[in-house]
Structure 1
């Protein structure tokens, strides 16, 4: 039994379907927002949008008891809060780390669509980049 089957067995179909639609949309837009962090005129908007995306994923996946997604989302949300509070821009290392995070969420999106078990979090994602320029 895959992740989608587990969700459908535990929650109302409409809740699961709405989560999957929103999750897919957020994952599809994640990479653009990350790349836009490198543009000085887009930084503030992009960091706030990314924070909101990870906050929403954290909340929804927590409600649906998708523990590894919820935990990684909380970790990324905390990191983004640190960036948006203490920094005016991001360095290349941070952008690359966020792109790898985005890849993990894209993989989970495929796992959800294919009703597979969720892929394991790559441990390299749990090492924060040097946030200083």
Structure 2
């Protein structure tokens, strides 16, 4: 079967051990589920530190796992977000509304990829608007 006829799940199952792919799906689903709450918690001074650290860990894990599974767009976007979160971690300011909105749009992109995986589609193309990080401080 030619690769262009296969969706992402079929390609993963053909190239990697089923248990590895299945474990990725389970962990990815949990991370996607919790992502939005952590992003919204960046508005709360008492939750900020925990949320930024947890979000950083989530994107680091997605970057590593998707890189291993050769899902390059996912790995690249996760690395891009991880870098932005690293910069946020080193500032004293809380995330502004533009950053939170951007992160929610990023979360939507990763949720779209989750649907692509479930439906065995090709991975959707990254929305170009996501590739411009808003000002980190205002």
TM-score with structure 2 length normalisation? 0.95
Greater Rg, structure 1 or structure 2? Answer: 2
Matches within 5 A, 1:65-104: 65-104=70-109
Answer yes or no: is the 8 Å Cα contact 1:43–1:88 preserved in 2. Answer: no
Structure 1 counterpart of 2:28: 23
CA contact (8 A) 2:39 2:104 kept: yes
* Number of equivalent positions: 133
Q: Distance in 1 between matches of 2:92 and 2:77?
A: 22
RMSD: 0.6
Correspondences of 1:6-45 after superposition (within 5 Å): 6-45=11-50
| Displacement of 1:85 | 0.8
Q: Which consecutive unaligned segments of at least 5 residues does structure 1 have?
A: none
Taking structure 1 as the reference length, the TM-score comes to 0.99
Kindly report which structure 2 residues correspond to 1:100-111, keeping only aligned pairs within 5 A, or say none: 100-111=105-116
Contact in 1 for aligned 2:9/2:120 (Cα 8 Å): yes
Counterpart in 2 of 1:113?
A: 118
